[in-house]
């Protein structure tokens, strides 16, 4: 457990208060829209894309000897197709999460797996100036299933309290642990050998209390 998790009060610990009234059916965690993965993109990325579109448009206008507006439209069309493909691939690779505490299962897209088979968690974050960081949690299973949860979006919106509690309880029932390298059997450098990975206690802690700006993260910054 990291200092960030250890610094929390006893009531905040993974073995502290759990779901008051455990929902037995399926609970969808987070809200997934087609544009969700792009809502956290940094402005510098948008500027770079705009610059590349302009540069490609100029090149096409000269190569094809067509009006510049036509070249711009052609470039935007190609860009739209590329972004659509990337979005579809990302959503298929990292589907949304639903949890059933009653059956002890997790649904990743269309695949249902036992919670006990989930053995790894990765925390992703994007620092935003003067605002709380964007946080995502990825869960991986030894059954070759994976899923992603957006803990906080760019606008600062977090999961509803009930969803936080259900997800935290689900993680408590998993086998999430830090990976261990054969070159580092003690796990001393695990957080550097496996960037973004966190253990079960830290995963529960960040779900229940997503770190705010200036607070310690359980991953190397």
Q: Evaluate whether 143 touches 117 at the Cβ level (below 8 Å).
A: yes
The predicted model gives 154-162 an average pLDDT of 90
3-state helix, strand, coil in the chain (%, to 5): 40, 25, 40
12-62 per-position pLDDT tens digit: 444 444 555 677 789 999 876 666 566 656 667 767 777 777 787 778 777
Token pair recorded at residue 25: 């059916």
With a pLDDT cut of 70, the percent of the chain lying above it is: 81
Q: What angle do CA 163, 3, 16 make, to 5 degrees?
A: 40
Token pair recorded at residue 198: 């966190």
Count of C-beta atoms within a 10 Å radius of residue 14: 21
Residue showing tokens 């809502």: 39
> Does 183 have pLDDT greater than 90?
no
85-140 per-position pLDDT tens digit: 887 886 677 788 999 999 999 998 889 999 999 999 999 888 877 888 889 999 99
In this structure, of 24-28, 82-86, 169-173, the range with the lowest mean pLDDT score is 82-86
What 8-state DSSP symbol labels residue 181?
A: B
The pLDDT of residue 40 is 59
The pLDDT of residue 179 is 87
The pLDDT of residue 5 is 52
């Amino acid at each position: 457990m990291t200092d960030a998790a250890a610094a929390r009060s006893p009531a905040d610990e993974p073995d502290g208060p759990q779901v008051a009234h455990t929902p037995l059916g399926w609970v969808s965690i987070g809200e997934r829209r087609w544009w969700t993965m792009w809502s956290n993109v940094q402005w510098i990325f948008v500027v770079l894309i705009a610059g590349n579109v302009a540069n490609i448009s100029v090149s096409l206008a000269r190569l094809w000897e067509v009006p510049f507006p036509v070249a711009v439209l052609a470039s935007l069309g190609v860009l739209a197709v590329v972004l659509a493909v990337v979005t579809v691939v990302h959503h298929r690779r990292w589907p949304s999460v639903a949890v059933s505490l009653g059956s002890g299962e997790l649904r990743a897209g269309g695949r249902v797996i036992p919670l006990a088979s989930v053995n790894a968690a990765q925390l992703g974050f994007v620092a935003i100036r003067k605002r709380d960081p964007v946080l995502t949690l990825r869960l991986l299973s030894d059954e070759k299933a994976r899923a992603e949860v957006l803990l906080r979006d760019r606008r600062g919106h977090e999961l509803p309290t009930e969803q936080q509690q259900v997800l935290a309880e689900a993680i408590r029932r998993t086998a999430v642990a830090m990976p261990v390298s054969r070159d580092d059997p003690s796990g001393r450098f695990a957080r550097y050998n496996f960037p973004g990975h966190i253990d079960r206690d830290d995963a529960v802690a960040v779900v229940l209390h997503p770190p705010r700006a200036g607070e310690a993260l359980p991953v190397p910054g």
